[in-house]
């Protein structure tokens, strides 16, 4: 009776392998979601940084214009205009850099999430393959269980009492 118990335990172990693979897949799917959320959070931070750069550039330009007009000159021409151009160039570069960082953060998160999803699918498949191997092992054990000695069906009528 030890062999039937071993077969039953192997079948139960195969079911456990499937469940473990599915659980690992779920874990990886959760990590994928977490990677996406984290990348979105970082992207929003970079976008806020870009907006802050734009706000500071506009404030600096407003101050230059105000000083120019307060000094009796044109606020948008001459040295005031040149300072505004420099501010816009520098601020624009920083603004674009922050937006590019936001884009890279999101792309990086999507790539990481994709890797997690792939790992989850592989983990689940590994669970199924492990289970298949265990079921094959159980089938092999089952084939070793024989019937009664000299078993099988009688094909002649000699022992039938005829």
On whether residue 156 sits in a domain, the answer given is: no
On whether residue 157 sits in a domain, the answer given is: no
The pLDDT of residue 57: 95
pLDDT digits (tens, 9 = 90+) for 34-62: 999 999 999 999 999 999 999 999 999 99
On whether residue 158 sits in a domain, the answer given is: no
- In this structure, are residues 25 and 121 in contact, taking their beta carbons and an 8 Å threshold? yes
Supply angle C-alpha 49, 55, 57, rounded to 5: 105
Residue 110: Cβ within 10 Å count: 15
Supply angle C-alpha 51, 53, 55, rounded to 5: 70
- In this structure, are residues 123 and 31 in contact, taking their beta carbons and an 8 Å threshold? no
Q: How far is CA 41 from CA 8, 18, 24, 38, 111, in A?
A: 50, 35, 26, 5, 15
Residue 116: Cβ within 10 Å count: 20
What percent of the chain is modeled with pLDDT above 70? 89
On whether residue 123 sits in a domain, the answer given is: yes
What's the number of domains the chain is made of? 1
On whether residue 162 sits in a domain, the answer given is: no
Question: How far is 53 from 72, CA to CA, in rounded Å?
Answer: 29
pLDDT digits (tens, 9 = 90+) for 66-109: 988 887 777 778 888 899 999 999 999 999 999 999 999 999 99
Helix (H) or strand (E) holding 46: helix 2-70
On whether residue 159 sits in a domain, the answer given is: no
Whole domain around residue 42: which residue ranges? 2-143
Question: How far is 131 from 124, CA to CA, in rounded Å?
Answer: 11
Question: How far is 20 from 123, CA to CA, in rounded Å?
Answer: 9
On whether residue 152 sits in a domain, the answer given is: no
Angle between helix 78-143 and helix 2-70 axes, rounded to 10 deg: 180
pLDDT digits (tens, 9 = 90+) for 118-134: 999 999 999 999 999 99
On whether residue 75 sits in a domain, the answer given is: yes
């Amino acid at each position: 009776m030890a062999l039937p118990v071993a077969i039953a335990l192997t079948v139960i172990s195969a079911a456990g392998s499937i469940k473990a693979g599915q659980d690992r897949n779920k874990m990886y799917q959760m990590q994928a979601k977490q990677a996406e959320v984290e990348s979105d959070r970082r992207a929003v931070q970079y976008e806020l940084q870009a907006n802050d750069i734009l706000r500071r550039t506009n404030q600096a330009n407003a101050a230059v214009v105000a000083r120019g007009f307060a000094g009796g000159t044109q606020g948008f021409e001459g040295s005031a205009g040149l300072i505004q151009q420099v501010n816009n160039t520098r601020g624009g570069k920083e603004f674009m850099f922050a937006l590019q960082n936001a884009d890279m953060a999101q792309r990086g998160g999507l790539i990481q999430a994709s890797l997690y999803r792939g790992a989850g699918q592989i983990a689940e498949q590994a669970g199924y393959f492990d289970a298949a191997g265990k079921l094959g092992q159980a089938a092999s054990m089952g084939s070793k269980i024989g019937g009664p000695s000299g078993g099988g069906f009688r094909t002649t009528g000699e022992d039938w009492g005829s």
